[in-house]
Structure 1
Amino acid sequence: MIFDISVNASETEVPDLKIICHKIESEGIVSAYEDYIFEIENNSEYSIIQPQWSYLLPLKGGGKAEIATSDDVTFTIPVVKDRSKYSITADYIIEGTITLNCMVNGMEKSATYELHLDLKPKIISYSEIVKTANETKTTYSIDFTVRYTGKDYLRVGVREDYSPFLEIETVEEPYVAHVHRNGINTFDYAWVILSVENEYGKDEVIITLEKWDGNTGMDNNLMEESSCGLADAFSVKVYSKTGKYIMWAKDKNELKRLTPDVYILQLCDGKDVCYKTIKYMCL
């Protein structure tokens, strides 16, 4: 299905008044499994008063359901729940509408924003991959964080060069998953396959791991600056170097109680979303 995007999704019928969302790209296709915050871009010299927001979704039997309203300057729409109620296109899209009515300089103004809510799952991003070699440097382990939507578990496969086997495991950590795999041959290429699937579709990402020739350092090797970025984290998830979960440190001073060793840390922001994976040496 081809959407008419000749007009930018952020534009409305009022030239000096726009509905915008910094999280959404211009085509207006978004995940149905995330919430979004909308704002008013006011290009006039007058203040906006009495804003009234409305968020509508089309019902399967016809008509529309009002999902959320607000009289605030910003507007948050929730994730789509009970998807069976709504009209879904052949491409598994729910087409929603956000409407803003307000007063500007004593005149009634309005703006709309068309949303294309995608029900298919999506792998949003993955962090830098941390590699840790074994003592003989013949194999190594990997640790990294994956953000995804549309399902509450992630499938991770690893295939090495010259091997017909694809080893797949399931990581049952909804939406933000910590991936740990070990025993990867340092002298061959390997591929990590990330996969998430639901009743509407499937998304897959393939990551190539370069071979290690023995003459150069291991990619992402532990350095003295391994705590780089730790000061900016609101909280930290702690794993052993073998990938075993240890604790979630809300106070970073808790790291001082760890037994001296190498650990894998997931750095989390103020919303408890993990955004980076690092190695950490506790001395």
Structure 2
Amino acid sequence: MDKSDVSLERMRSFVRVAERGNLSAVAREFGIGQSTITRHLRELEEAVGVPLLSRTTRRVTMTDEGARYYANCVQILRLLEQAGDEARGTRGASAGMIRISCTAAFGVLHVSHMVFAFQDRYPDIGIDLSLTDERIDLVREGVDIALRLGPLTDSSMKLRSLGQSRRLMVASPDYLAARGTPSVAQDLIGHDGIRMSNIAGSATLSLQGPNGEHHLVPIAGRFRVDHGLAAREAMVAGRGIAPTHRWLVDDLLAAGRLKVILPDYSPPPVPLSMLIVPERTGIARVRLLVDFLAERIAGIPGIEQTGR
């Protein structure tokens, strides 16, 4: 083989294997056999003339030469996609695939409906929506955009702040009828609480009082869960009192299935952010979705813009 055998197909296979470290995962992503991915890598290495990947029984990693080649390949593929967008003009923005990662409950209740509306406007854009509460590696998983609640530590991504998610205290009418309604923060002691097991420090509730004072209240209870939608069901079922995001329960409050308690005491709000893989910011369809989501998310109950 010679350098003319360095095809874009082989280059794409190499880039995704380098990012994911797993041939079978890339084969599933591309919808082709693993043997085809293996062949692409072998042919590319033969064409380039140096080993690009080091394979073990558990993982595939890049060689030093592979790491340098990978950086150039990413740039080439990004420029190729941008060139296609520009050549097609405005219509070019409305075709292709976008991969989104989002916290599960927020994605089910809100983002999925925004995606439907976006695809109604741009029917040729495909969306791969991954719902997980885990902090994933966006590049490795092939994600373009991630919506995340909470503090961020990944400084390599382009960040767009979407505001603060306001939280409040709620319980079901049946629970309050049986156990009484707290009137001050310390009244929570002895009540059943619904706790999120995947959030550190959930055994202690932090509340800001009516005069700006801070209260730390231990919260007990028989039910712990690691998914927002299950916590929502537990609230309605009267399993206890819970601090929750407004967007998670706004419809239940409107229907009277939950009630706000301690309205003068509030848990601290949680930042909501959009992360964008830097190499994808120049892709027109990604920019369209970023702006679309930012506009729609601003209208969700309980999402308050910073500075308001």
Shorter-chain TM-score range: under 0.3
Q: Which structure has more strand as a fraction of its residues? A: 1
TM-score when normalising by structure 1: 0.24
Using CA pairs below 8 Å that are at least 6 residues apart, which structure has the higher relative contact order? 2
TM-score when normalising by structure 2: 0.23
Q: Which structure has more helix as a fraction of its residues? A: 2
